[in-house]
Structure 1
Amino acid sequence: MAIFRALHPLALLACLSAARVIDLEKDLGAKPEDASEATERFNGQKLNESFAQMQPGDRLLIPAKRFHVMGGIQARNLSDVVIQLDGTLVFSERTKDWPRTATGGVLACMRFENLVNVTFTSAGRGTLDGQGGAAWWGFIRYLVHEENRPRLWEMSQIKNVLVERLFLKNAPYWTTSFGGVDGLEIRESDILNERTKHKGHDVYNLGALNTDGWDISGTNVWVHHSKVWNQDDCFTVKGTSSNMLFENIEASGLGLTIGSEGGNDHVSNITFRNVYMDRTFKGIYMKFRDGTPEGQLTIIENITYENIYMKEPEQWAIWIGPAQQSDSREFWKGHPCSLLWPAVPGATCSAAQRGLYRNILIKNVTVDNPKNQPGVILADKAYPMQNLTFDGVKVINWKGNKKNLQYKICDGVDATAKAIGGTDPVPSCFPQAEAESSLLV
């Protein structure tokens, strides 16, 4: 797969004699180290003013101090600029005072639209702190806010953007949502959304619901040398997307994700490789949601996952099938697969209709001492998976009953599926497994 780099604006800026440095504190009067509501609003206003006045060649400097801000930071139509975050932007915990639309929807902490040749960087390790914690997280808070919680960082309609040396933490909702992308590089930038220091994903920590990591939709994307620890999808491809490479990364949460796709989306030419996953909840996670109209088809194709090591995954190491999620307060119901399946009797899990997986390669994947069975492979029988290959996909140090060393479900796979390279166990619905079974009769 080709590597797509965002053009680095710093090389361009060196040629621009009129470049300005705008210091958020010295030039605009932003106030550091003050968490009062008045200062949060004042600092947010100054940030918005700074973005509004930026011209090609400018650099906005946020110095190495803590600046408390209210959400609703917005910028549009920036080109050939640098935003240098050397300090920390700490977003307000005042949920009742959060800025909202006329219909009551909360605004994102930060939103950028229509960017061309823009760099987000830091001389050290710039931080965006969403202060999710007690303000926005937890099952009780979910019943109050549901999905109406601010995303930490939104970008839409962006071209040739570089994100480097940033740290994003404790997002109230999705950490990022980058859409309409054509040329994006993310490097040396990490995400951490955790409720405790427990290095796992127990029920309490999973209460940081919907804290997705890098969520990206578009084309020509390269994400590398970055880490995500969160309680939802870690590195995620969404919507109609193509030509993305995620490599040399670490992830622990709901995994390396494509989806939830539906409604005639088409995902193609995506690679995840060279990945370490420590006690992740899910590992490889491809999912369709319900809702593809009759007569249409949602497609995920030409996908590669390779060179992945999972240490003690806690739920499913490999999931290729329906989205295991809820989109309402009735979170115990499947949409299309229940979050409580299969642990709770009566919980259901069904294949999403009119979703097609084809040309999927899972290669050199080691699942070390999983707490559960290896995974789930489940597709609509009307559109079975085509050309699904497991090459060197192995479970090691299995502590359970040998009889249970098999995928929880394997259904909806056509005769082109194959397991090679010493794959163990071979999924039960693959032709080799059927042949081996007949030989034992």
Structure 2
Amino acid sequence: MLSSLTFLTALLATTTGVLANPVAIPGPLPTPPPSLKDAVAKRATSCTFSGSDGYSLASVSKASCATIVLSSLAVPSGVTLKLEKLNDGTTVIFQGTSTWGYQEWEGSLISISGNKITIKGDPGSILDGQGALWWDGLGGNGGKIKPKFFKANDLTDSIIQGITIKNAPKNSFSLNRVTRLTVKDVTVDDSAGNYATGGHNTDGFNINNSNDVYFTGVKVWNQDDCMNVNSGTNIYWTNGFCSGGHGLSIGSVANGSVVRNVTFENTVLEKQQQSVRIKTNSGAVASVSDIYYRNIVFNGGTDYGIIVDQSYGGTKHKPTNGVTINNFQLKNVTGTVDSGATQILVECGVGSCTNWVWSGVKVTGGKKSTACLNLPSGISC
């Protein structure tokens, strides 16, 4: 991990001019972080739960606690730490190292919902999913049944701050139907799964049917998407770092989905399968619009630097046009790929990709593609 952070520092130092003075282009404004002080009037009770029975006591006592402190929990196998339908304004604090026992099941290991909720980790705290007990290189594609880690459903006007997740069996954060959520200074570290039969589908963040979500200062080491938006609007990601995974992604976009107004900026990625990706499901009918990547630096892409794939899940290189991709902008996106990788691949359906603007895009290493299809006006591979 230290080498990754050293790489991040060096790359940011070489791109100071770009990152310090980005050229503004149209895009969504950041969602203001919720105030931790003014959320609601706090209840007086603080409750601390720890050890092997802490998970159950927390679940049944949550209604009487304004602050829930979870200290070095040992959650048994096959059990979800349920913090659902919390009282408005509840604060959840993780301390020490909490672990979850092994069992093949779908999970999740944690489930949280509520309004004006603060979820934070004290310095040095770790949520350890002990993923190596499940990892087999297959992720969700077979082998052991693996639980997702942290699920936030119907979380509104809330903040997740300072959490460190390690060794997720599968997806780390699943954010579903969340609105006005800030994710700040969160770390996902699945780097221990970097071997052939190790972690797979260990996505950092999956976004579904969510609106006004703001990410800042997030760091992810994993073996799948650093962050992806499957459906949602007004999603903003800044000052991030991603290592070992599949980049900052839109999709896969399924039938009936809408993805609109998404910005990724001021982020460094290393050793990604691809760094910038839009993937839409073959045969789907959906909408993707107003997508912005700016001030992105990547190094060591193993397959692609930038890829748009409109045949995902279907016949490769046979893109379909039921998902429109309108107003896709890249600004100051630069990086390198490995010798066997492709710099840029764009495979659009006929007429489905419109109004794209790319400037300051430079990918070196690897090879140029000769297989791009139905490129929008002004775009080249």
1:363 Cα shift?
A: 1.2
1:74 aligns with 2:82: yes
| Counterpart in the other structure of 2:323 | 355
TM-score, length-normalised on structure 1?
0.74
Match 1:321 to one of 304, 309, 328: 309
| Counterpart in the other structure of 1:393 | 361
Match 2:162 to one of 156, 165, 172: 165
- How many Å separate the matches in 1 of 2:116 and 2:286? 32
- How many Å separate the matches in 1 of 2:30 and 2:64? 30
Match 2:181 to one of 158, 177, 184: 184
| Counterpart in the other structure of 1:305 | 293
Higher Cα Rg, which structure: 1
| Counterpart in the other structure of 1:228 | 220
Describe the SS at the equivalent of 1:144.
Answer: coil
- How many Å separate the matches in 1 of 2:150 and 2:282? 27
Distance 1:395 1:136, change over 3 A: closer
| Counterpart in the other structure of 2:314 | 336
| Counterpart in the other structure of 1:211 | 202
Does the CA contact (< 8 Å) of 1:9 and 1:82 recur in 2? no
Which amino acid letter does the alignment assign opposite residue 271 of structure 1?
Answer: T
Describe the SS at the equivalent of 1:138.
Answer: coil
C-alpha distance after superposition, 1:60-108 (max 9, x if no partner): 1123x4534443222322221100112222111233xx5xxxxxxx331
Task: Count how many residue pairs are aligned between Structure 1 and Structure 2.
Answer: 349
- How many Å separate the matches in 2 of 1:44 and 1:61? 11
1:48 aligns with 2:59: yes
- How many Å separate the matches in 1 of 2:207 and 2:259? 12
Does the CA contact (< 8 Å) of 2:310 and 2:349 recur in 1? no
| Counterpart in the other structure of 1:3 | 30
| Counterpart in the other structure of 1:86 | 95
Which amino acid letter does the alignment assign opposite residue 352 of structure 2?
Answer: P
| Counterpart in the other structure of 2:234 | 243
- How many Å separate the matches in 2 of 1:224 and 1:307? 15
Does the CA contact (< 8 Å) of 1:24 and 1:50 recur in 2? no
C-alpha distance after superposition, 1:254-307 (max 9, x if no partner): 110110112121111110000101111210011101352xxxx31111111010
1:149 Cα shift?
A: 2.3
- How many Å separate the matches in 2 of 1:158 and 1:61? 19
Describe the SS at the equivalent of 1:48.
Answer: helix
Does the CA contact (< 8 Å) of 1:321 and 1:352 recur in 2? no
1:353 Cα shift?
A: 4.3
Runs of 5+ in structure 2 lacking a partner?
1-27
Does the CA contact (< 8 Å) of 1:300 and 1:356 recur in 2? yes
| Counterpart in the other structure of 2:115 | 116
1:323 Cα shift?
A: 6.1
Describe the SS at the equivalent of 1:83.
Answer: strand
- How many Å separate the matches in 2 of 1:357 and 1:291? 14
Tell me whether 367-376 or 165-174 shows the greater mean CA deviation.
Answer: 367-376
Distance 1:357 1:157, change over 3 A: same
Does the CA contact (< 8 Å) of 2:221 and 2:242 recur in 1? yes
Which amino acid letter does the alignment assign opposite residue 157 of structure 2?
Answer: N
Match 1:410 to one of 362, 372, 380: 372
| Counterpart in the other structure of 1:271 | 263
1:215 Cα shift?
A: 1.2
- How many Å separate the matches in 2 of 1:244 and 1:142? 28
Which amino acid letter does the alignment assign opposite residue 266 of structure 2?
Answer: N
Distance 1:246 1:141, change over 3 A: closer
Distance 1:140 1:278, change over 3 A: closer
| CA-based RMSD | 2.3
1:358 Cα shift?
A: 1.0
Describe the SS at the equivalent of 2:89.
Answer: strand
Aligned positions of 1:6-155 closer than 5 A: 6-12=33-39, 15-16=41-42, 18-25=43-50, 31=51, 39=52, 42-51=53-62, 53-54=63-64, 58-63=66-71, 65=72, 67-70=74-77, 71-78=79-86, 79-95=88-104, 106-113=106-113, 115-139=114-138, 142-145=141-144, 148-155=145-152
| Counterpart in the other structure of 1:328 | none
1:11 Cα shift?
A: 3.4
Identity %: 20
C-alpha distance after superposition, 1:328-365 (max 9, x if no partner): xxxxxxx225xxxxxxxxxx443144111110011101
1:369 Cα shift?
A: 4.6
TM-score, length-normalised on structure 2?
0.85
Runs of 5+ in structure 1 lacking a partner?
26-30, 32-38, 99-105, 325-334, 338-347, 420-425, 428-441
1:388 Cα shift?
A: 1.6
- How many Å separate the matches in 1 of 2:302 and 2:234? 30
Does the CA contact (< 8 Å) of 1:150 and 1:173 recur in 2? yes
- How many Å separate the matches in 2 of 1:109 and 1:259? 24
Which amino acid letter does the alignment assign opposite residue 199 of structure 2?
Answer: A
Which amino acid letter does the alignment assign opposite residue 394 of structure 1?
Answer: K
- How many Å separate the matches in 1 of 2:117 and 2:333? 36
- How many Å separate the matches in 2 of 1:238 and 1:310? 23
Does the CA contact (< 8 Å) of 1:375 and 1:409 recur in 2? no
